[in-house]
């Protein structure tokens, strides 16, 4: 695991020394804070659980955007700067390279999610929230973060252009999120398949409501694993090109 | 001992390397020589473990690169043409990071990194961030990262490209200092570079190894040198007429004038005693001979002959 830890340490340092981490966190947290404030303080009375549900939907979208912005540089930047050779000629496996990169981005997304905790805390002060509901929602956010950072890692491994990586990663995440709409108009059995693949509606809604189901955990872990497996194949294929 | 057998690499249907075979003894400095596109960088990337060959075998002391890539990569240091550097790190931090990535313990890097910085004249820049270094020092840092884990084989792709003349001289000294302790493989298309630094040459043309050996051996593989430079004192027109009338001279053309002195470039015929005949004719005609030199371009001539022949056949 030592090489993985070394890669994580270097990546985390790069996020903060290059200011990228601060900028992404500041802009997205500000955006989410404004949106949450506008919704929560808008006219109408809501129950605490409804406000919390809306908060999780909002955080799902914003943290997915954070995942894409944080992952788009992972491999694309190294390929552009021709520094990937430091990793590919080191006595470490392609799995360790991919794992180190992904874990660093995942740690950043987890930190981002943690920084949003003040918003449910405000709801808690003015209303009443079940700790279990909050924990389930955050577990869901972490699982979504694991899946979306893995998708972003895969997109970044495909190109030397960060913008292209961001667009590809964002398009895949958006496509998976909108699958429930496609599922509604598709014929059987595709409607069920499409609905099952939906990143938000099918698998995140239970977490938002405070429920934890193994099938949803398996879905997010599978997306993450498949994306990382493909990333490893892409990095490995570079040796055969 | 590094041994390469039947090494081939195809990019789709395009051959980049075809059946390349050579061996480099422990501690030697070998130079890959070839025109741009000859396959040098492809060969180096395969040897560095960055790329896999389509066919063939690379072994270091009998251990196969394809079968045990991770084990062998720990014994190899690689500097690509553009040094791979993390610009946000300090020099010390970068070398420590790379050393640990290549399997060194923290304690080992603490001991080794200052020595490597001293060897590559980077001690004064130990706490500078990499992005503040000039190209010359970035190249030095590139070499430092290639040797920080004390590898058996050090591979340097065009180590002097982009450097100024002073930096080139310093880089040559540095590369030469690596020999003996490490086996060094350099690629270059610049002849003086390999002439100054390498014990052994490998000449690549169109992906094929067309010659290998010491510099003397490669020189001997070209056609015999039949050029001569003569500087004479006296009437330039008469000297030119005299030289061109000699049966041993194919052509004689003036190349420089300096007052009474004229320098001629001569192409001689196959007669073994052509040089003596030229000297005798000039002395008998009362010309003063100031200088008479065989142009030292045997290596260049051999290299051009080997590569040109292939290019012409291809055309």
Distance CA A220, CA A223 (A): 5
**Structure confidence at residue A146 (pLDDT):** 97
Please check whether residue B22 touches A, CB under 8 A.
no
Residue with tokens 């142009």: B295
User: Are the beta carbons of A103 and A142 closer than 8 angstroms?
Assistant: no
Please check whether residue B8 touches A, CB under 8 A.
no
User: Are the beta carbons of B257 and B238 closer than 8 angstroms?
Assistant: no
The tokens for A220 are 């997010």
- CA dihedral over B22, B72, B143, B7, signed as positive or negative: positive
pLDDT band at B7 (very low <50, low <70, confident <90, very high): very high
Q: Among partner residues A2, A83, A241, which is closest to B86 by beta-carbon distance?
A: A83
Q: Among partner residues B50, B102, B103, which is closest to A85 by beta-carbon distance?
A: B50
Omega of the bond prior to A189 within 30 degrees of 0, cis?
yes
pLDDT band at B295 (very low <50, low <70, confident <90, very high): low
Contacts of B88 in chain A (CB under 8 A): 13-14, 17-18
- The answer, yes or no, to whether residue B224 has pLDDT greater than 70, is no
User: Are the beta carbons of B188 and B204 closer than 8 angstroms?
Assistant: no
> Which residues of A make CB contacts under 8 Å with B?
2-3, 6-7, 10, 13-14, 17-18, 81-93, 238-241
Top mean-pLDDT range of A149-153, A191-195, B45-49, B236-240: A149-153
For chain B, what percent of residues have pLDDT higher than 90? 45
Across chain B, mean pLDDT equals: 87
Please check whether residue B103 touches A, CB under 8 A.
yes
In this prediction, residues B19-27 reach a mean pLDDT of 91
The pair phi, psi for residue B150, each rounded to 5°, is 55, 60
pLDDT band at B289 (very low <50, low <70, confident <90, very high): very high
In this prediction, residues B258-274 reach a mean pLDDT of 85
How far B142 CA lies from chain A's nearest CA (Å)? 11
The pair phi, psi for residue B39, each rounded to 5°, is 115, 5
**Structure confidence at residue B213 (pLDDT):** 86
**Structure confidence at residue A186 (pLDDT):** 78
- The answer, yes or no, to whether residue B248 has pLDDT greater than 90, is no
Distance CA B216, CA B222 (A): 11
The complex scores an ipTM of 0.89
Contacts of B85 in chain A (CB under 8 A): 83
User: Are the beta carbons of A11 and A74 closer than 8 angstroms?
Assistant: yes
Top mean-pLDDT range of A139-148, B165-174, B266-275: A139-148
**Structure confidence at residue A10 (pLDDT):** 95
Tell me whether residues B86 and A92 touch, CB distance under 8 A.
Answer: no
pLDDT band at B189 (very low <50, low <70, confident <90, very high): confident
Tell me whether residues A239 and B50 touch, CB distance under 8 A.
Answer: yes
Contacts of B102 in chain A (CB under 8 A): 90-91
The pair phi, psi for residue B183, each rounded to 5°, is -85, 130
Could you tell me which of A194, A207, A192 has the C-alpha nearest to residue A60? A207
Q: Which residues contact A216 (CB under 8 A, 6 or more apart)?
A: A140, A143, A202, A203, A204, A206, A207
**Structure confidence at residue A1 (pLDDT):** 55
- The answer, yes or no, to whether residue B308 has pLDDT greater than 70, is no
The tokens for A114 are 């943690």
Q: Which residues of A178-214 are buried (b: 16+ CB within 10 A; e: fewer)?
A: ebbebbeeeeeeeeeebbebbbbebbbbebbebeeee
In this prediction, residues B141-158 reach a mean pLDDT of 93
The tokens for B2 are 């590094």
Q: Could you tell me how far CA B85 lies from the centroid of its own chain?
A: 24
How far A116 CA lies from chain B's nearest CA (Å)? 29
Which mean pLDDT values do the consecutive 10-residue runs of chain A (241 residues) have?
A: 91 89 94 87 74 90 96 96 95 95 97 94 85 93 97 96 96 91 81 84 88 93 97 91 76
**Structure confidence at residue A84 (pLDDT):** 95
Query: Nearest residue on chain B to A88, judged by CA atoms?
Result: B50
Contacts of B97 in chain A (CB under 8 A): 6, 10
**Structure confidence at residue B223 (pLDDT):** 63
Q: How many residues does chain A have?
A: 241
Tell me whether residues A14 and B48 touch, CB distance under 8 A.
Answer: no
In this prediction, residues B279-308 reach a mean pLDDT of 79
Query: Nearest residue on chain B to A77, judged by CA atoms?
Result: B86
Q: Could you tell me how far CA A92 lies from the centroid of its own chain?
A: 26
Q: Among partner residues A82, A86, A92, which is closest to B82 by beta-carbon distance?
A: A82
How far A170 CA lies from chain B's nearest CA (Å)? 27
Contacts of B74 in chain A (CB under 8 A): 91
Query: Nearest residue on chain A to B103, judged by CA atoms?
Result: A91
**Structure confidence at residue B309 (pLDDT):** 55
pTM over the 0.90 mark: no
**Across the strands, what pairs with B252?**
B266
In terms of C-beta distances under 8 Å and separation of at least 24 residues, what long-range contacts does A8-12 make, across chains too? A8/A100, A8/A103, A8/A104, A8/A107, A10/B86, A10/B89, A10/B97, A11/A74, A11/A100, A11/A101, A11/A104, A11/A105, A12/A104, A12/A107, A12/A108
The tokens for B314 are 């291809």
Could you tell me which of A106, A158, A133 has the C-alpha nearest to residue A47? A133
Q: Which residues contact B248 (CB under 8 A, 6 or more apart)?
A: B268, B269, B271, B273, B274, B277, B278
Query: Nearest residue on chain A to B99, judged by CA atoms?
Result: A90
Tell me whether residues B51 and A83 touch, CB distance under 8 A.
Answer: no
Query: Nearest residue on chain A to B71, judged by CA atoms?
Result: A91
């Amino acid at each position: 695991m030592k090489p993985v830890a070394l890669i994580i340490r270097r990546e985390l340092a790069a996020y903060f020394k290059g200011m990228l981490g601060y900028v992404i966190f500041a802009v997205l947290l500000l955006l989410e804070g404004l949106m949450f404030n506008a919704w929560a303080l808008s006219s109408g009375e809501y129950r605490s659980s409804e406000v919390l549900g809306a908060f999780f939907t909002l955080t799902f979208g914003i943290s997915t955007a954070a995942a894409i912005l944080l992952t788009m540089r992972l491999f694309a930047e190294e390929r552009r700067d021709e520094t990937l050779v430091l990793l590919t000629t080191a006595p470490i496996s392609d799995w360790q390279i991919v794992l180190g990169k992904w874990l660093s981005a995942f740690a950043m997304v987890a930190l981002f999610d943690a920084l949003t905790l003040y918003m449910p805390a405000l709801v808690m002060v003015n209303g009443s929230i079940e700790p279990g509901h909050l924990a389930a929602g955050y577990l869901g956010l972490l699982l979504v973060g694991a899946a979306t950072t893995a998708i972003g890692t895969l997109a970044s491994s495909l190109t030397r252009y960060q913008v292209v990586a961001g667009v590809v990663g964002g398009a895949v995440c958006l496509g998976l999120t909108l699958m429930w709409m496609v599922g509604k108009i598709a014929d059987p059995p595709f409607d069920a398949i499409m609905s099952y693949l939906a990143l938000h509606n099918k698998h995140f809604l239970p977490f938002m409501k405070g429920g934890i189901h193994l099938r949803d955990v398996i879905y997010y872990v599978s997306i993450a694993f498949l994306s990382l497996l493909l990333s490893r194949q892409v990095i490995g294929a570079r040796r055969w090109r | 001992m590094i041994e390469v057998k039947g090494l081939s690499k195809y990019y789709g249907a395009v051959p980049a390397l075809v059946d390349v075979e050579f061996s480099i003894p422990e501690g030697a400095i070998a130079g890959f020589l070839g025109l741009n596109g000859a396959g040098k960088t492809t060969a180096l990337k395969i040897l560095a473990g960055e790329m896999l060959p389509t066919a063939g075998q690379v072994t270091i002391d009998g251990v196969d690169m394809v079968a045990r890539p991770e084990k062998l990569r720990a014994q190899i240091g690689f500097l690509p043409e553009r040094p791979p550097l993390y610009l946000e790190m300090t020099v010390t931090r970068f070398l420590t990071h790379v050393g640990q990535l290549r399997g060194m313990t923290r304690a080992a890097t603490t001991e080794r990194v200052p020595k490597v910085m001293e060897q590559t004249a980077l001690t004064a820049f130990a706490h500078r961030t990499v992005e503040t270094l000039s190209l010359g020092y970035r190249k030095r840092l590139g070499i430092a990262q290639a040797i920080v884990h004390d590898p058996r084989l050090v591979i340097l792709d065009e180590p002097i490209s982009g450097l100024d003349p002073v930096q080139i001289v310093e880089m040559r000294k540095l590369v030469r200092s690596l020999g003996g302790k490490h086996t060094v493989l350099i690629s270059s298309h610049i002849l003086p570079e390999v002439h100054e630094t390498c014990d052994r040459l490998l000449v690549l043309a169109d992906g094929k190894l067309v010659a290998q050996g010491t510099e003397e051996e490669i020189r001997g593989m070209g056609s015999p040198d039949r050029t001569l430079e003569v500087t004479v004192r006296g009437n330039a027109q008469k000297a030119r007429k005299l030289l061109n009338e000699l049966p041993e001279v194919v052509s004689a053309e003036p190349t420089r004038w300096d007052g009474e002195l004229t320098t001629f470039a001569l192409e001689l015929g196959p007669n073994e005693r052509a040089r003596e005949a030229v000297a005798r004719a000039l002395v008998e005609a009362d010309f003063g001979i100031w200088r008479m030199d065989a142009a030292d371009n045997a290596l260049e001539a051999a290299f051009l002959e080997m590569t040109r022949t292939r290019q012409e056949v291809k055309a």
